[in-house]
């Protein structure tokens, strides 16, 4: 906090007290909605939220971005794992809509709802089979 105040003071002096400096400073870069023909389930999310969902999936399945994505082209649907993942997104969304409609995700939680990829996957690419299999 003190460092920030000091920075502001220095910046104020440095810019000769120009009010435009504070105008620029107060304006956080406007996040944009991720809008793409190959975003079919996670629609209407701001870029940081969308990125968070991708991170949640990575952690829930214990995989990397490259497991589902063609190298160098996130929009491409040529990786079959991505298509499976999209079906899973649809399924997870449907479960939440039908059975947990009142759950409001807290900041940092998946926007999908109470049931997430982690609920079933628990850090594994393929969920465990029941005991005895
Ligand atoms: C388990 C599979 C999976 C993993 C792992 C994954 N993604 Fe995705 N990604 C998807 C799916 C599925 C979509 C499309 C979602 C939809 O249709 O709503 C997507 C969409 C995207 C898009 C939007 C592309 C477009 O159409 O413009 C970006 C960007 C992206 N992912 C980045 C990442 C990054 C970065 C990582 C790693 C941190 C990552 N993804 C990890 C499955 C995955
Ligand atoms: C209700 C439980 C459940 C949820 C929730 C769930 N999955 Fe799955 N998922 C499964 C099961 C079961 C399989 C194995 C299917 C099979 O054996 O054919 C699987 C398989 C997969 C596979 C293929 C793995 C492989 O072995 O090739 C991917 C990719 C995947 N899930 C991604 C996701 C993502 C991403 C999410 C969250 C959006 C998610 N899953 C949510 C149950 C779930």
For 59-78, the pLDDT digits (tens) are: 999 999 999 999 999 999 99
Query: For position 52, what pLDDT does the model report?
Result: 97
Does pLDDT of 5 surpass 80? Answer: no
Alpha carbon of 27 to ligand 1 centroid (Å): 29
Which of 42, 69, 120 should be mutated for ligand 2, with most atoms under 8 A from CB? 120
Q: Of 130, 127, 132, 116, which is closest to residue 55 (Cα–Cα)?
A: 116
Encode burial over 71-90: b for 16+ CB neighbours within 10 A, e otherwise: eeeeeeeebeebeebbebbe
The answer, yes or no, to whether residue 89 has pLDDT greater than 60, is yes
Largest alpha-carbon pair distance within the chain?
A: 74
């Amino acid at each position: 906090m003190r460092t920030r105040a000091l920075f502001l003071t220095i910046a104020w002096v440095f810019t000769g007290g120009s009010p435009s400096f504070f105008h620029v400073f107060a304006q956080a870069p406007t996040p944009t909605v991720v809008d793409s023909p190959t975003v079919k389930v996670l629609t209407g999310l701001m870029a940081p939220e969308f990125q968070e969902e991708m991170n949640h999936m990575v952690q829930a399945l214990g995989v990397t971005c490259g497991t589902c994505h063609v190298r160098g082209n996130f929009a491409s649907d040529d990786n079959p794992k991505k298509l499976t993942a999209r079906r899973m997104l649809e399924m997870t969304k449907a479960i939440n809509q039908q059975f947990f409609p009142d759950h409001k995700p807290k900041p940092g939680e998946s926007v999908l709802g109470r049931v997430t990829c982690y609920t079933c996957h628990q850090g594994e690419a393929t969920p465990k089979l029941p005991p005895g299999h």
